[in-house]
Amino acid sequence: MLAYAGGSAAAFERLYERHRGGTYRYLLRHTGNAATAEELHQEVWLKVVRARDTWSAQARFATWLYTIARNALVDHWRASRGARFVSLDDEGVESAVEIALLNDRDEAGLLSTTMRVESGQRLIAALEAIPPAQRDAFLLHVEAGLALREIAAMSGMSVETVKSRLRYAYGRLRTALEDLQ
């Protein structure tokens, strides 16, 4: 990012190539809607472009990038018509259908994902069914590659809380795969 701020367009292309998939999937798994994910993905990266001149290396680029993505997600949910605002830190919502309704999900898409039989598709379906807070911790861990400490710092939680959420998410995903063993 410093190289990009120094005038290297190629540096931005390298950054984008490295993180484009992760940010898109992070947004897609949270929204469950490809069009919304694309829109948010573009918004996030345009913010990165605009922040080129003011960016300072106070944290890892990935941490900064996913903080922007997380904020964009929260703003999207806040602005969604008819949807009750759900914080990413809200751990009380557990029903997949309820989450889909609250988070502007494509219900038909959700139902189709539950019919998947392969383990990968089951995992995706299971992740969609868990509360946003656990899902967020899991996605930041596997898609962004952030450490527990970094996830805790960007979400304003303790490391123990993040660890607890991850444990819960992994447990649900294991359960989803159990009958395949």
Partner 1 sequence: MKTWRPGEDDEFDITIDGEWRKASREEPPPHVDAAILAAARTRRSRFATWQPLAAAAAVAGLAFLLVQLLPRERDVEQPILMEPAPQPSTPVKQPGAIANATIQGTTEPAPISPGVRENEARKRDQSLPDSALALPQQPTEAGEPRKDASPGSRQLSKESRADAELAAGAPAPAAAAERAAARAESSSLAAPTAQMPPAQWVTLIETLYASGDRAAAAAQLRTFRNEHADADRYLPEAIREWASTVE
Q: Which tokens in the block code for residue 55?
A: 């960016």
Q: Given candidates 2, 49, 97, 111, which one binds partner 1 under the rule CB under 8 A?
A: 49
**Rule CB under 8 A: is residue 179 a binding residue for partner 1?**
no
Closest CA to 70 of 166, 8, 176, 143: 143
Task: Give the count of residues interacting with partner 1 (CB under 8 A).
Answer: 40
**Rule CB under 8 A: is residue 82 a binding residue for partner 1?**
no
66 touches 24 (CB < 8 A): no
Length of the chain in residues, anyone?
Answer: 181
**Rule CB under 8 A: is residue 105 a binding residue for partner 1?**
no
**Rule CB under 8 A: is residue 7 a binding residue for partner 1?**
yes
Q: Which amino acid is at 40?
A: L
Residue 74 CB contacts under 8 Å (≥ 6 apart), including other chains: 87, 88
Q: Which is nearer to partner 1, 85 or 94 (CB)?
A: 94
Q: Which is nearer to partner 1, 90 or 160 (CB)?
A: 160
Q: Is 100 exposed, middle or buried (0-12, 13-18, 19+ CB in 10 A)?
A: buried
Q: Given candidates 74, 123, 153, 159, which one binds partner 1 under the rule CB under 8 A?
A: 123
Q: Which residue has the tokens 């410093």?
A: 2
| Residues near partner 1 (CB under 8 A) | 4, 7, 9, 12-13, 16, 20-21, 24-25, 28-29, 34, 38, 41-42, 45-46, 49, 52, 118-121, 123-124, 142-143, 163, 166-167, 170-171, 173-175, 177-178, 180-181
